[in-house]
Every structure is written in C-alpha cells, then in structure tokens.
Amino acid sequence: MLTCPSDFCQGCRTRWFNSDNPTGQGDYETLLQVQMVYPSQVCSQPVAIEAMTVSGVPAHKTGDIFQVYDATHGFACVTAEQPGGKRCQDYKVRFTCPLAFCSV
C-alpha cells in the first residue's frame, strides 16, 4: 500500500464504491467493474486501494482470502476460494488517484 502525506492523499481519494455483493460467485469490486458501474468517478490508473466490509471491518481482519487486491486490478473475493465453504463478506473499496485526476 502506498503511503503519502494525508493532506496530499485526502484530495485524491475516491468515495467508497460497492458495486457488487457476494450473492453470486463472489464479491467483485475490480477496477474494471467499478469503472463500468461508476464511470468517471475513478481514475484509470489508481496508485492505491483500500477495502473494508460494508459494516466497516478492514479487509485484512476478516480472514477471507482475496483473489485480487491491488491498485491496478482492484479487489475480488471469490466464494469458491474460501476455506470451509464460507461465503465472502460484502466489501466496499476506494482508490487513491493521481493528483491530476482529483484537480480536474
């Protein structure tokens, strides 16, 4: 995860997106998916991503296994990959975008 001064990152951070739920094969909050559902609200090349459950638990504390979790591709939790056959939780994501995107 990229770290940078909070006053810099603050202006470049998107709102939280929740474009899918785990009812189907998993919870897919990939960058492509978010761009498709919320066009123009996220940059094409984010520098960082954060994910947490819709109830506010940070993604790394849930014990779920993530197929994808990076700024380039976004986030995906696939139910078939979870131990014990448990279902993925419902996650939301937000991205940090280059300053140029936020100053538009």
- Part of the chain binding Ca ion (CB under 5 A), chosen from 3-11, 13-21, 44-52, 81-89: 13-21
**C-alpha 69: how far from its chain's center?**
7
Among 9, 16, 18, 30, binds Ca ion (CB under 5 A): 18
**C-alpha 13: how far from its chain's center?**
12
| Helix spans in the chain (H) | 6-12, 31-37, 99-102
- Let me know how many helices (H) and strands (E) the chain has, helices first: 3, 5
Tell me, residue by residue from 28 to 67, as one string, x for binding to Ca ion by CB under 5 A and - for no binding.
----------------------------------------
Tell me, residue by residue from 63 to 92, as one string, x for binding to Ca ion by CB under 5 A and - for no binding.
---------------------------xx-
